[in-house]
Copies of this chain bind each other. A is one copy, B any other.
Amino acid sequence: MTLEGKMLIGQQAIQGRREPIHAVNPATGERLEPAYPGGTREEVDRACELASVAFDHYRETTLEARARLLETIADEIEALGECLIERAVAESGLPQARIQGERGRTCNQLRLFARTVRAGEWLDVRIDPALPERQPLPRADLRQRHVALGPVVVFGASNFPLAFSVAGGDTASALAAGCPVIVKAHSAHPGTSELVGRAIQAAVRRCGLPEGVFSLIFGSGREVGQALVTDARIKAAGFTGSRSGGLALWKAAQSRPEPIPFYAEMSSINPVFPLPAALKSRGAAMGEAFVGSLNMGAGQFCTNPGLVIAIKGPELETFIDAASRAVEDSGSQTMLTPGIFEAYESGVKGLADSDKAREIARGHARDAPNQCRTGLFVTSAADFMTDEALQAEVFGATSLVVECRDSTELRRVAEQLEGQLTATLQMDDADLDTARDLLPLLERKAGRILVNGWPTGVEVCDAMVHGGPFPATSDARTTSVGTAAISRFLRPVCYQDLPDALLPEALKDTNPLSLKRLVDGWRES
């Protein structure tokens, strides 16, 4: 497929008229063709109008039709073949195997949402039949289901050019819920975005759905994003990216005449707690495994372990020594964009220059563009708690070890943490009481709690929570990975005394969708 450098507005391909975006191969610094001229308010308006027109039809398509759209998108993405892999590798600097894996994950995710749509549990059907004889007042017939919120804007993420971008988790869950989607492509991978966008466009066409179900817009700077989020026809948005970018868009969404849900996944340093017995029995092995997680994808995962909190002593020294050696052995890795590389360098320099953090080890340097050198720093609990800058996320493969005097101080450090995507306990059996004591605190701080694993690697499944208290996300009540994400794009509606002819399928007496409904307080089986 030849890249055209065009936006996709419904079934059309449209050339932008604003300053063009060029992707850059971060591994070489090479500028990649074609140019992607940015969109204007005109394309935003057109995409929103098409989405708005498509909404009432699309949200009432059958579960089967919607599931088939998701599966067709997966098929079309796979049909792109090697050109997608090559372009995504060139635009991201990520290894080919990683991009192949990410394509698999993206397609599996779409197919998993198809299964979720078909199962229909997300409709959360509740029926309270009429009680005409009830005293002192009769009860009406009341039925509830969930409906889609409306057209949704999805912001592509830099660090997952496939799984969190044009056909990523937010798009899959919004389409599953019955919401048309407008994607604002991430400017780091416009070519990958065009390819995947064309796959979705083809799937919409093949499935005979209204063209407004999907559009893809380019644009550097914040103009297009702000215009999309503040358009009255948009009813929710999903975002994965930086804290400053997420908060700016979140504020715009809350300042509308009609505020809308804005799901931003922003900032997390993912604390790891190596507990005393585990440190004693396997401190060295743990230190090495920790750096393995730290280095994954050049540390450019939202769940990268950027913080280690433990009690000071010889056992922690063993962990730190092993981790230091592993860091020193770490080869440099290409980062996603020159901008991300610069921010990483500045974050690491901030730690290096701080009189409160001590550099313990750095990985290899390499004379190539945008290379991430792994970093390991140490600080004291007292300094960590008094210097907010030490809690800031350094996006990339650098981590900070916080040394605590004792378990009381460790608890105080944990209590002072901001909201996180994950919290990890490394423990042996002898740590069970300590772990049990920490668990309620960690539940208040994080969306996912791990024991004896590492936070990188987010499974797409029913039980996953990729979310957490602010500022990990703007809304801890949902997840952006896993099938539970469908609920973020839904709202309940109650139907009182509707004749059967008017009731939606899910609510009809005959239960044509064969759902297990909550009827008069009892779950149908």
Asked if A70 is an interface residue, CB under 8 A from chain B, the answer is no
Minimum Cβ distance to chain B for residue A497 (Å) = 5
CB of A128 within 8 A of CB of B523, answer no
A448 surroundings in chain B (CB, below 8 A): 493-496
- Per-residue 0/1 for A489-519: is the Cβ within 8 Å of any B Cβ (1 yes, 0 no)? 0111111111101100000000000001010
CB of B494 within 8 A of CB of A432, answer no
Q: B142, B419, B484: which contacts A492 (Cβ < 8 A)? A: B484
Give the contact stretch, choosing among A181-189, A211-219, A254-262: A254-262
Asked if A140 is an interface residue, CB under 8 A from chain B, the answer is yes
CB of B259 within 8 A of CB of A126, answer no
Asked if A223 is an interface residue, CB under 8 A from chain B, the answer is no
Give the contact stretch, choosing among A12-20, A38-46, A306-314, A451-459: A451-459
A475 surroundings in chain B (CB, below 8 A): 261
Asked if A352 is an interface residue, CB under 8 A from chain B, the answer is no
Asked if A435 is an interface residue, CB under 8 A from chain B, the answer is yes
Q: How far is the CA of A480 from the CA of B57 in the complex (A)?
A: 29
A464 surroundings in chain B (CB, below 8 A): 128, 142, 144, 494
Give the contact stretch, choosing among A167-175, A316-324, A438-446: A438-446
Give the contact stretch, choosing among A3-11, A401-409, A466-474: A466-474
A493 surroundings in chain B (CB, below 8 A): 443, 446-449, 465
A439 surroundings in chain B (CB, below 8 A): 502
CB of B495 within 8 A of CB of A449, answer yes
Minimum Cβ distance to chain B for residue A450 (Å) = 4
- Per-residue 0/1 for A138-152: is the Cβ within 8 Å of any B Cβ (1 yes, 0 no)? 011011100101100
CB of A491 within 8 A of CB of B476, answer yes
A478 surroundings in chain B (CB, below 8 A): 492
A452 surroundings in chain B (CB, below 8 A): 497
CB of A461 within 8 A of CB of B128, answer yes
Asked if A115 is an interface residue, CB under 8 A from chain B, the answer is yes
A56 surroundings in chain B (CB, below 8 A): 440-441, 444
CB of A126 within 8 A of CB of B496, answer no
A residues with a Cβ closer than 8 A to B are 56, 60, 101, 115, 121, 124, 126-128, 136-137, 139-140, 142-144, 147, 149-150, 254, 258-259, 261, 418-419, 432, 435-436, 439-441, 443-444, 446-453, 457, 459, 461-465, 467, 469-471, 474-479, 484, 490-499, 501-502, 516, 518, 521, 523, 525
Closest 7 pairs (CB-CB, A-B)? A465-B494, A142-B463, A126-B463, A144-B463, A450-B496, A448-B494, A56-B440
